[in-house]
Structure 1
Amino acid sequence: MKVTIDEDKCCGAGQCVLIAPEVFDQRDDDGIVILLEAEPAADQHAAVRESAAVCPGLAIEVIEVDKQA
């Protein structure tokens, strides 16, 4: 899994940080998302997918990577 964020779409709701704090954080000045881990560990995948699903600005993109390729 690879994760990318689009800061321009982020509205600072912070749901991603609540769901996956090991992967996402927020800037102190404006609340915009900070990506801490672009390739999260397997045990974080479900939380990252949930974060992307609930993001009101659709700022999180999850790219599933086939490890066999």
Structure 2
Amino acid sequence: MSEPVRDVPITGEPIRLGQFLKLAGLAEDGAHAKDLIENEEVTVNDEVETRRGRQLSDGDVVAVGGDRGRVTLAR
């Protein structure tokens, strides 16, 4: 069973996938985020995503392995 989805607040939409991976702690840094994406280890809303610049919006769920983060707008 996978981990529960963590809400990760962002201050403005949209945010790029590479940035979100770092913010959510799903990647150590930009190079790690790039490697995860290139190796097809990242899904957005249960679909493999290979574009680091993919724009994410409120409610999108990003997963790396069993770790999942949901884009939420900071209130």
Is TM more than 0.5 here?
Answer: no
Which has the higher Rg, Structure 1 or Structure 2? 1
**When you count strand as a share of all residues, which structure comes out higher?**
2
**When you count helix as a share of all residues, which structure comes out higher?**
1
- TM-score of the aligned structures, taking structure 1 as reference length: 0.30
